[in-house]
Amino acid sequence: MARSFDDLLAEAAAVPVAGWDFAWLAGRATERRPSWGYQRLLRDRLAAASSALDVQTGGGEVLAGAAPFPPVQAATESWPPNVAEAARRLAPLGGVVVASTDEPPLPFADGAFDLVSSRHPATVWWDELARVLRPGGTYFAQHVGPATMFELVEFFLGPRPQARLLRDPETEAADARAAGLEVVDLRTERLRAEFLDIGAVVYFLRKVVWTVPGFTVEAHRDRLRALHELIRRDGSFVAHASRTLIEARKP
Amino acid sequence: MAVTLDAQLLEILACPSPDHAPLTPGTPDDPAADALTCTSCGRTYPVRDGIPVLLLDEATPPTNGEPDTDSPDDSSSDGA
């Protein structure tokens, strides 16, 4: 028997949402992965590097999965709970976590690294990345792309034409060039995501808090009920995540 | 316990103030302390559980007599 709206909401509002493990959504939501396989490509680049930095490493999950590390592997993170978790995960692999802000300056010398990586950085400071790269060094990253999950965003917030223009890959490439880097790879993919019940939507919006800023079950109950009815009618709600792969070289 | 950061890492760590000056292990009073001190501005940064905390907010200002010429906060405020 189908579970009630109130039941699904109560369950999804109570479940813990810390960290970046989405296993709770198994069987209730899906999201395609980018075809390029960021972690595998990062592993190849780490294998060729002598000194690498991972910026905004989060809990270090993605970087750890790309080990082994070069002789010098540093990672920065600003959120204290993530700093501790990343250190626990990366130290046994030879990585050193540095607590820093997400804003310039990075606490590293000029030309310190031949590889700087990042997955889903909240902000990208191109001049600063170029500064810590040595000549011939590479910035390799997966960024959140333009208008990610906007079907979901606009269902709750209404049309957001200005926000749709943010994170444009061509703009990012132009910013990289302006900082003196050569863009050697630039790809963007739209990735189908599907929510099979309203509880999965609530879980996602609680966890990925910037999707619908200030989201709470109480404040968005009417829209949640409308979306619940839509999922009941159509079988699912489909949105699209957006990701950009960018590789830029310092001449 | 003294800072046991790798020498190669120590070479590339820098003060998060705008001049990115090199850091040296310990504090001026205790070279064995779990800390890193900026060779230019004299700020001291804690190293906690092997994690260098390179945040201006958590730095200890230099002890008296040492110059602190590069602090962005030291310019005369209030336009007075």
Give the integer Cα–Cα distance in Å for A184 and A41.
Answer: 14
The chain A residue lying nearest B4, using CA atoms, is A96
A5-16: pLDDT as tens digits:
999 999 999 998
Give the integer Cα–Cα distance in Å for A169 and A186.
Answer: 7
Taking the CA of residue A21 and the nearest CA in chain B, the distance in Å comes to 24
Q: Which of B14, B49, B55 sits opposite A108 (nearest CB)?
A: B14
Confidence at residue B7, expressed as pLDDT on a 0 to 100 scale: 86
- Entry pTM: 0.87
Peptide bond into A105 cis (omega under 30): yes
Confidence at residue A202, expressed as pLDDT on a 0 to 100 scale: 97
The mean per-residue pLDDT over the stretch B35-60 comes to: 95
Confidence at residue B75, expressed as pLDDT on a 0 to 100 scale: 41
* A135 alpha-carbon distance from chain centroid: 27
Q: Which of B17, B22, B53 sits opposite A99 (nearest CB)?
A: B53
Most confident range (mean pLDDT) of A30-34, B60-64, B69-73 is A30-34
Residues 6+ apart with CB under 8 A from A97: A57, A60, A74, A75, A76, A77, A83, A86, A87, A90, A91, B51
Give the integer Cα–Cα distance in Å for B80 and A181.
Answer: 42
Structure tokens at A174: 């132009």
ipTM of the complex: 0.85
Confidence of residue B19 (pLDDT cuts 50, 70, 90): confident
Query: Are A72 and B53 within 8 A, CB to CB?
Result: no
Q: Beta strand pairing status for A237-249 and A29-31?
A: unpaired
A26-54: pLDDT as tens digits:
999 999 999 999 999 999 999 999 999 99
> Is pLDDT of B79 > 70?
no
H or E element that contains B39: none
Confidence at residue A210, expressed as pLDDT on a 0 to 100 scale: 85
Which portions of chain A are predicted below pLDDT 70? 1
Confidence at residue B1, expressed as pLDDT on a 0 to 100 scale: 42
Give the integer Cα–Cα distance in Å for A78 and A101.
Answer: 5
> Is pLDDT of B68 > 90?
no
Taking the CA of residue A244 and the nearest CA in chain B, the distance in Å comes to 29
Give chain A positions within 8 Å (CB) of B14: 105, 107-109, 112
In A19-99, DSSP assigns E strands to 29-31, 51-54, 72-77, 95-99
Cα distance between the two ends of chain B: 46
Q: Which is more confidently placed, A106 or B66?
A: A106
Confidence at residue B4, expressed as pLDDT on a 0 to 100 scale: 60
Kindly list the residues of chain A whose beta carbon comes within 8 Å of any beta carbon in chain B. 51, 71-72, 74, 83-84, 87, 91, 96-101, 105-110, 112-113
Query: Are B12 and A51 within 8 A, CB to CB?
Result: yes
Q: Which of A84, A107, A110 sits opposite B13 (nearest CB)?
A: A107
Residue pairs spanning A and B at CB distance below 8 A: 64
Number of H helices, E strands in chain A: 9, 8
Confidence at residue A2, expressed as pLDDT on a 0 to 100 scale: 77
Residues 22-51 on B with a CB inside 8 Å of A are: 22, 49-51
Longest alpha-carbon distance in chain B: 46
User: CB-hemisphere CA count at 13 Å for A34?
Assistant: 22
Ramachandran assignment for A40, one of left (phi > 0), alpha (psi -120 to 50 degrees), beta (any other): alpha
Q: Which is more confidently placed, A105 or B63?
A: A105
Asked whether A186 and A173 are in contact (CB, 8 A), the reply is yes
Give chain B positions within 8 Å (CB) of A109: 11-14, 20, 22
H or E element that contains A144: strand A133-144
